[in-house]
Structure 1
């Protein structure tokens, strides 16, 4: 997972060497975390915290 100051969060497959998901929040990011067991992403930004479920297919 990578998070950028412009609000873009990307989930990467290292074994396939490609981006598997992308989401944008309308605020500067402070942090992001991914739990691979549940597929949950938490994004902390100036606008608050966002929780997403990402199913990698």
Structure 2
């Protein structure tokens, strides 16, 4: 096994609070997919159960 075959462990020296704050501020338009992968579409609205009130936008 070569040194190139071993991946570095994923570790970022950051508090959980800061990581969560940065994640919450990230806009989906800013994120690029890894090379060779297509961008995923938006999630569909969740289906409502019968009898559940509908959202008014």
More helix by share: 2
TM-score normalised to structure 1 length:
0.19
More strand by share: 1
Larger radius of gyration: 2
| Higher RCO (Cα < 8 Å, 6 or more apart) | 1
TM-score normalised to structure 2 length:
0.19
